[in-house]
Chains A and B, each alone.
Chain A
Amino acid sequence: KAGVTQTPRYLIKTRGQQVTLSCSPISGHRSVSWYQQTPGQGLQFLFEYFSETQRNKGNFPGRFSGRQFSNSRSEMNVSTLELGDSALYLCASRDGGLSGANVLTFGAGSRLTVL
């Protein structure tokens, strides 16, 4: 099976711009979660999508949004970028059922630098 694919891998934006990141989960996985990773903060949960519906949302401002398509691919969008949004954005996929056997599989991440 192909792994979790995130694009783009690297991008540089300036303050005030917006950015869209893409994630293709493992084939058959219906759940996609997004995390922000910064040094010293670890992984901060952004949101999770399952079957095109947002199932959970973390503690981030409304500038951070996402969506999921019928093929389970997901996008996240950050509008009005701030310097503090510079981070590695990770996508993780899993089967999505509520059984205890689910494991997150991560993509390589999209590294965003805001200047």
Chain B
Amino acid sequence: AQSVSQHNHHVILSEAASLELGCNYSYGGTVNLFWYVQYPGQHLQLLLKYFSGDPLVKGIKGFEAEFIKSKFSFNLRKPSVQWSDTAEYFCAVNPRNTGNQFYFGTGTSLTVIP
């Protein structure tokens, strides 16, 4: 079965620290990849997406993610986090040949301490 693994369930960082959240998936074919963010009390929002081309994609608020096909990974990074980045982050995979199936990881809760 397809699966998406987010290895870090809870991450606590101080402001200005660097962030990397891991995401691995098990599907072997061509995939679309996404990171969504859910700020406290708000709905899920798209942070960034990868469909094709440059494997390093940039999203909103200074986030970026790198697609490493050989490792089936799509890790999220930010060089310097802010208190306002406190949120839950979800990785999602959409295998191309399923068209409309999206598989989500269990999420990583990030707390940034001022």
Which positions in B face A, CB cutoff 8 Å?
A: 6, 9, 32, 34, 36, 42-46, 49, 51-52, 90, 92, 94, 96, 99-107
Contact = CB atoms under 8 A, between A and B. Distances in A.
Nearest to B103: A45
Contact of A45 (B34, B99, B102): B102
Nearest to B45: A106
A1 B52 CA distance: 27
B101 A56 contact: yes
Contact of A100 (B36, B42, B96, B106): B96
Contacts of B92: 104
Contact of A41 (B6, B44, B96, B106): B106
A45 B40 CA distance: 22
A107 B43 contact: yes
A100 B90 contact: no
A84 interface: no
- By CB atoms of chain B within 10 A, which of A41, A55, A102 has the most? A102
B107 A42 contact: yes
A77 B106 CA distance: 24
Given A90-B44, A100-B52, A109-B43, A50 B106 contact: no
Contact of B51 (A43, A90, A100): A100
A98 interface: yes
Contact of B105 (A42, A100, A105): A42
